[in-house]
Chain A
Amino acid sequence: MSAELRANFHEQLDQIRTEIARMSADVTELVPRATDILLDADLEGAEYVILGDDDYDARSIELEEQCFRVIALQAPVAQDLRSLVSAIKIIADVERSADLCVNICKATRRIYGHELDAELRGVIRKMGEQAHALFKECTEAYLNLDGPRAAALHDMDSYLDDLQRQFIQVIFESHAAGHIDLQVAVQLAVVARFFERIGDHAVNVGERVRYIVDAWVPEHPYPESDNDPPEIVAVPELGADD
Chain B
Amino acid sequence: MLLAVLVATVAGVVAGVLIASALSRRAVAPIRVDPVVDEATGSSVRDAVDRLEIGVVMFGSAGDVTFSNAAARMMNGTHAGLIVSDHLAQVVEQVRTRGAGSREVVLHGPPRQIIAIEAKPLPRGGVVATIQDVSARALVDAMRKDFVANISHELKTPVGAIAVLAETVAEERDPAVASSLSARLVDEAHRAIRTIDDLLELSRIESKQPSDDLVDLAAVVDLAVERGRALAIGRDIEIAALDSGDALRVRGDRRQLESALGNLVENAVKYSHDGGAVQVRVRLDEPWIELMVADQGVGIPARDLDRVFERFYRVDKARARGTGGTGLGLSIVRHVAGNHGGDVAVQSAEGEGATFVIRLPARLLVAPTAADDNDRALSAPGDER
Q: Which residues of A contact B (CB under 8 A)?
A: 18, 21-22, 24-26, 28-29, 31-33, 36, 39, 117-123, 125-126, 129, 132, 136, 139-140, 143-144
Indicate whether B78 reaches chain A with its CB closer than 8 angstroms. yes
B301 at the interface (CB under 8 A from A): yes
Most buried by A among B107, B297, B351: B351
Known: A120-B351, A121-B351. Contact between A25 and B302, CB under 8 A? no
State the CA gap A118–B304 with chains docked (Å): 14
Q: In the complex, what distance in Å separates the CA atom of A36 from the CA atom of B351?
A: 16
Please tell me if the beta carbons of A139 and B79 are within 8 angstroms of each other in the complex.
yes
B35 near A: Cβ within 8 Å? Answer: no
Chain A residues within 8 Å of B86, by CB? 22, 26
Q: How far is the CA of A29 from the CA of B109 in the complex (A)?
A: 8
Q: For the complex, is B126 an interface residue (Cβ under 8 Å from A)?
A: no
Interface majority SS (helix, strand, loop, mixed), chain A: helix
A118 to B85, CA, bound (A): 38
Q: For B349, give its contact among A28, A117, A122, A132 (CB under 8 Å).
A: A122
Q: Among the listed B82, B297, B301, B352, which residue makes an inter-chain contact with A25, where contact means beta carbons less than 8 Å apart?
A: B82
Contact B77 A143 (CB under 8 A): yes
Judge whether A118 and B77 touch: CB under 8 Å. no
Choice from A122, A129, A132 contacting B299 with Cβ under 8 Å: A122
Q: Does B208 contact A (CB under 8 A)?
A: no
What separation, in Å, do the CA atoms of A121 and B110 have in the docked complex? 16
B236 at the interface (CB under 8 A from A): no
**Residue B108, interface by CB 8 Å:** yes
Q: A21-B82, A25-B79, A32-B110 are in contact. List 20 more A-B contacts (CB 8 A).
A: A18-B82, A25-B83, A32-B109, A33-B108, A36-B108, A117-B351, A118-B297, A119-B351, A119-B352, A121-B351, A122-B299, A122-B301, A122-B349, A122-B351, A125-B350, A126-B349, A129-B302, A140-B77, A140-B78, A144-B77
Which of A25, A32, A118 has the most chain B CB atoms inside 10 A of its CB?
A118
Known: A32-B108, A121-B351, A122-B351. A26 touches B301 (CB 8 A): no
> CA of A39 to CA of B316 in the docked complex: distance in angstroms?
12
| CB under 8 Å from chain A, chain B span 58-84 | 77-79, 82-83
Q: Is B298 an interface residue (CB 8 A)?
A: yes
Contacts known (A25-B83, A139-B79, A140-B79); A118 close to B108, Cβ less than 8 A: no
**Which A-chain residue is minimally distant from B108 (CB atoms)?**
A32
Report yes or no: A139 in contact with B82, Cβ–Cβ below 8 A. Answer: yes
Q: How far is the CB of A91 from chain B (nearest CB, A)?
A: 15
Distance between Cα atoms of A43 and B185 in the complex (Å):
37
What residue in chain A is nearest B353 (Cβ atoms)? A118
Q: List 24 A-B contacts (CB under 8 A).
A: A22-B82, A24-B82, A25-B79, A25-B82, A25-B83, A26-B83, A29-B108, A31-B108, A32-B110, A33-B108, A39-B301, A118-B297, A118-B299, A118-B351, A119-B351, A119-B352, A121-B350, A122-B351, A122-B352, A129-B110, A129-B302, A139-B79, A139-B82, A140-B77
